[in-house]
Amino acid sequence: MKSYRIILALLMPLMFTACAKDLVTGKKELNFYKIESEEKIGTKVLNAQLKAAKKKEKEVDKEADAKEYKRLQKIVKQIQPHTHYPDFPYEIHIMQSDVVNAWCAPGGKMMVYTGLWDDEKGLVEKGNDDELAAVVAHEMAHANARHVTEAVSQSVTILMAGTAAQTAISAGGLTQGANIFGQVFSDGVSIYLPSYSRGNEYEADKLGIMYMAKAGYDPNAAVELWKKAAKKKKDKSSIYASHPSSGARAKALEKYLPEAEYEYKTATNQH
């Protein structure tokens, strides 16, 4: 009985914050995790990926691609002030891998794989700031919408919530509830890729195109990017497979172009 009271006392704060108002949607969303915990969770996921890269002697950051690493850091810095959570400790890394993908863990901890701009199967044209910004802004949007912690909260009971955050996510993949950070093996490296709902992806697209436009990046690049993706071959580790139909996404994004183009022109003084 005593242990039950202790557990209940520890869970009370979670119960009161579980349906807090979401800053992004303005609606009450189920989330057992306080905003302050996002960075800690994201850091654990990121460190697990960096550790896996080091173990397999994969190049990261400047060693992987110094020019694109510098470009990515600049893009993140420009987009950050226009996000809903500009005070998140955003951090971006590059890892040498043929995986055509990128992700952003809670708290703004990001990983981009060099396969994203691979000449043969990549999605982004190397050196194209607007296309790269479209991908980065979309991933940052996932963190701002708190999609990972919301998904975990929806898939576990309140009694399991604490252990889900401390053990499952920190290990790189969930062992309970939904498989939010699944594992894919590429080049002998265990790659952690988040799995989002279709609704999550469309929400991140909508937020991302506004983030990039306000930061001075052409929002048309986001639409063209997904049109290009619709023509690409899918595999389990690619951005084409882990997201909704690329053609449908391009069409959905076109609805937001007028507003996004206005923000872009305002940011670049084109009015």
Q: What is the pLDDT of residues 155-200, one digit of tens each?
A: 665 445 444 444 444 444 334 333 566 666 666 667 767 778 888 8
On whether residue 261 sits in a domain, the answer given is no
What is the average pLDDT across 241-265? 85
pLDDT category at 244 given cuts 50, 70, 90 is low
Mean local confidence (pLDDT), 218-225: 95
The reported pLDDT for the residue numbered 177 is 33
Q: Which tokens belong to 67?
A: 């020019």
Per the structure, the complete domain to which residue 149 belongs is given by 21-197
In a domain, 7, yes or no: no
Would residue 3 count as lying in a domain?
no
pTM: 0.84
Tokens 């009694």 — which residue? Answer: 159
Domains: count for the chain: 1
In a domain, 176, yes or no: yes
Q: Is 264 helix (H, G, I), strand (E, B) or coil?
A: helix
Q: What is the mean pLDDT of residues 37-52?
A: 87
Contact 64, 202 (CB under 8 A): no
The neighbour count for residue 148, using CB atoms within 10 Å, is 31
Query: What pLDDT does residue 188 have?
Result: 65
On whether residue 267 sits in a domain, the answer given is: no
Q: Is the pLDDT of residue 22 over 60?
A: yes
- Mean confidence (pLDDT) of the chain: 81
**In whole angstroms, what is the distance from residue 239 CA to residue 83 CA?**
22
Q: For residues 108 and 101, what is the distance between their CA atoms, to the nearest angstrom?
A: 16
Strand order in the sheet with 109-113: 91-95, 109-113, 102-105
Output the pLDDT for position 172: 41
Establish if 128 belongs to a structural domain.
Answer: yes
- Beta-carbon-side half-sphere exposure of residue 225 (alpha carbons within 13 Å): 29
Give the number of C-alpha atoms closer than 13 A to the C-alpha of residue 210, restricted to the C-beta side. Answer: 14
Distance, CA of 167 to CA of 268 (rounded, Å): 45
Q: Is residue 260 part of a domain?
A: no
Pick from 182-186, 204-208, 225-229, 255-259: least confident: 182-186
Task: Spell out the alpha helix ranges (H) of 125-197.
Answer: 129-144, 147-155, 158-163
**C-alpha distance across the termini of the chain, in Å:** 68
Q: Considering the domain boundaries, does residue 259 fall inside one?
A: no
